[in-house]
Amino acid sequence: MSKESKSIYNFDINLIHEYYSLIERQGPGSPEMTIRALSFIEGLSEYSKIADIGCGTGGQTMVLAKHIPGIVTGIDRSDRFIDLFNRNAGKANLQHRVKGIVGSMEDLPFQKEELDLIWSEGAIFCMGFERGLNEWYHFLKKGGFIAVTEATWFTEKRPAEIEDFWQAGYPEIDTIPNKLAQMQKAGYVPVAAFVLPENCWTEHFYAPQLAAQEEFLRTHAGNRMAEEYIAFERYEQALYVKYKAHYGYAFYIGKKI
Ligand code: SAH
């Protein structure tokens, strides 16, 4: 298989979870951008119910919970991530209102119109942006908010190498106007969209992975699958450096109407 046609889905999920357990966040983002996105959300109280879907080990959840009132439920399919999440909630002294549970974003354990806010950083792609917006809509109260980050093209035309990489991994990547149109169509009024700055990738996502890669390779010395997986991660990072003018992440914030 050529590198170009490889996607993360070719690798063992346990290896991926082990690797990402070594770092604080499992997707691009930063505390500053979580707080900026929060500035568009209104009407929360201590009775509000908030879900962080695809929460991982809770890097962004703890930032979120420190800046808003209400009960926060983190959901992730990885029990390994949820164990770390609940430990992190304890360390941050948030265990009384922040709880991680193992579950699927495709079958959420909430009632209809139960939630005041749905948060999801770097995770909605796992079921697809449009499908996620449509299905999660039912769990949100009228007037409730949704805030998600999503892979986004910044340019209309892209070099073939990066276009092929995303077509193999996540063909739903699209431009901001197209994503906003999908949000509107799903029943939300788009309240804001903004591009995540480069340091969300370099400083907060890729830099911490350097030491994690060394550690992971030491643990799995001689394991070809593990070596290939790290080579894939490094290739993805090199692509970002080369093509960051063409793509990145954006925050999309909508209000259910
Ligand atoms: N929000 C975190 C993690 C993003 S990585 C951060 O920004 O750091 C994407 C997360 O989605 C992973 O933790 C992965 O385990 C989770 N995930 C993938 N598919 C899922 C599914 N079907 N249901 C629930 N969680 C899922």
pLDDT digits (tens, 9 = 90+) for 174-206: 999 999 999 999 999 999 999 999 999 999 999
The residues near 53 (Cβ < 8 Å, ≥ 6 apart) are 75, 105, 108, 118, 119, 120, 123, 124, 132, 136
Query: Cβ < 6 Å from ligand 1: which residues?
Result: 25-27, 29, 54-56, 59-60, 75-78, 81, 104-106, 121-123, 126
Give all strands (DSSP E) within 159-230, no chain letters.
174-175, 188-195
- pLDDT tens for the chain, 257 residues long, are 344 446 777 788 999 999 999 999 999 999 999 999 999 999 999 999 999 999 999 999 999 999 999 999 999 999 999 999 999 999 999 999 999 999 999 999 999 999 999 999 999 999 999 999 999 999 999 999 999 999 999 999 999 999 999 999 999 999 999 999 999 999 999 999 999 999 999 999 999 999 999 999 999 999 999 999 999 999 999 999 999 999 999 999 999 99
Residue spans of the domains in the chain: they are 28-197+246-256
Instruction: Output the CATH code of domain 28-197+246-256.
Output: 3.40.50.150
- Residues 256 and 118: their CA atoms lie apart, in Å, by 11
- 176 is written with which tokens? 């901001």
Q: Are 152 and 195 in contact (CB under 8 A)?
A: yes
Closest C-alpha residue for ligand 1 atom 20: 77
Closest C-alpha residue for ligand 1 atom 14: 54
pLDDT digits (tens, 9 = 90+) for 17-50: 999 999 999 999 999 999 999 999 999 999 999 9
N- to C-terminal Cα separation, the chain: 46
Q: Which atom of ligand 1 is nearest to the CA of 149?
A: 7
